[in-house]
Amino acid sequence: MKVLLVCTGNTCRSPMAEAMLAKAVTEAGLKDVQVSSAGIGAWEGAAASEGALLVMLERGFDLSSHRAHQLTREMVDASDLILAMGRPQLARIRELGGAGRAHLLGEFAGRSPAGGEIRDPYGTDLDSYRETFRELNEILPGIVRRLGGGR
């Protein structure tokens, strides 16, 4: 199964979620799940934002090799499940043909529609990135369960 996580610039939320979900599916023994990320307005090849890099390092994740990717129709077509950080990303995924496989990340994890979006920390302080990490960490077990990880 190919899971694609999508945010705006592919430098904050989606690379954070990608690293965290990849670790979680490995720990859950889900060997057939591949996790990747992209952005609807990404600057191809850009590094992870400084805030994302630092907060993830605080928590044992290394995003130094991450490079941003612009979301394409080919990526959408190649993905079995596409999880968007917000409604604008979900709309773009649907425009690219992914409607039946695309969901808001929070809703897919079991949150109500009102709590389905993950707030963008880009351009804010480290505490906002820490809050994004906390929020992702809270909902990822629900995603792993839906992928077959049973925890």
pLDDT tens for 20-63 read 999 999 999 999 999 999 999 999 999 999 999 999 999 999 99
* CB crowding 43-80: b at 16 or more within 10 Å, else e: eeebbbbebbbebbeeeebebeebebbbbeeebbeebe
Query: Which of 14-18, 74-78, 105-109, 147-151 has the lowest average pLDDT?
Result: 147-151
Average pLDDT over residues 115-144: 96
pLDDT number for residue 109: 95
Per residue in 74-110, pLDDT (tens digit) is 999 999 999 999 999 999 999 999 999 999 999 999 9
Q: Is 120 a catalytic residue?
A: yes
What Rg, from alpha-carbon coordinates, does the chain have?
A: 14
User: What confidence tier does 123 reach under pLDDT thresholds 50, 70, 90?
Assistant: very high
User: What confidence tier does 150 reach under pLDDT thresholds 50, 70, 90?
Assistant: low
- CA 103 – CA 132 distance, rounded (Å): 18
Tokens 């959408």, residue located: 76
Q: Is 32 a catalytic residue?
A: no
Catalytically annotated residue among 7, 12, 92, 101:
7
Catalytically annotated residue among 67, 120, 130, 145:
120
Q: Is 12 a catalytic residue?
A: no
